[in-house]
Amino acid sequence: MMPKKNKPILLVEDNPDDVELTQLAFRRANIANPMKVARDGAEALDMLLGEDAEKFAVVLLDLKLPKVDGIEVLRRLRGETRTRLTPVVILTSSREERDMIASYELNANSYIQKPVDFEQFVEAARQLGLYWLVLNQVPETEYD
């Protein structure tokens, strides 16, 4: 199976270290899809809902973000026809129960706590890529 149309991944993350590590982890996990980065919630909303918005295979969304936080980004995405079905994976440091509940209540597709151990992080990235870019099916017509 080939990754669908090589659609890009959107990483919403303000910490440059984490951006670098995530990119490295995805590269190590042999995920070829291009990765675009939004540095805060407002930028993410712009890239997803703005005038020349792209379609992303999956959005990796951190919760603690400058300007507009992750939960608010998710709320807005789910409120728009164009993005209400876009796969959104919460990728965060938080293990707080209330963050998980808030995310799932807003129909996040998955919730993953970023492992501190880099090997585990690479493994998580590999599984994420395999699942969301290869295995997972989305309704192409309505979605596109």
Cα separation, 90 vs 62, whole angstroms: 6
* 35-38 and 58-61 strand pairing: unpaired
Sheet of 88-92, strand order? 35-38, 9-12, 58-61, 88-92, 110-113
- CB closer to another protein out of 63 and 89: 63
Indicate the SS3 state at residue 5. helix
Can you say whether the dihedral through the CA atoms of 121, 16, 24, 131 is positive or negative? positive
Binding mask 52-91 for another protein (x = CB under 8 A): -----------xx---------------------------
Q: Is 15 in the site for another protein (CB under 8 A)?
A: yes
Of the candidate residues 18, 46, 69, 123, the single one contacting another protein (CB under 8 A): 18
Of the candidate residues 8, 24, 53, 126, the single one contacting another protein (CB under 8 A): 24
Binding segment (CB under 8 A) for another protein, from list 10-18, 41-49, 52-60, 128-136: 10-18
- CB closer to another protein out of 43 and 99: 99
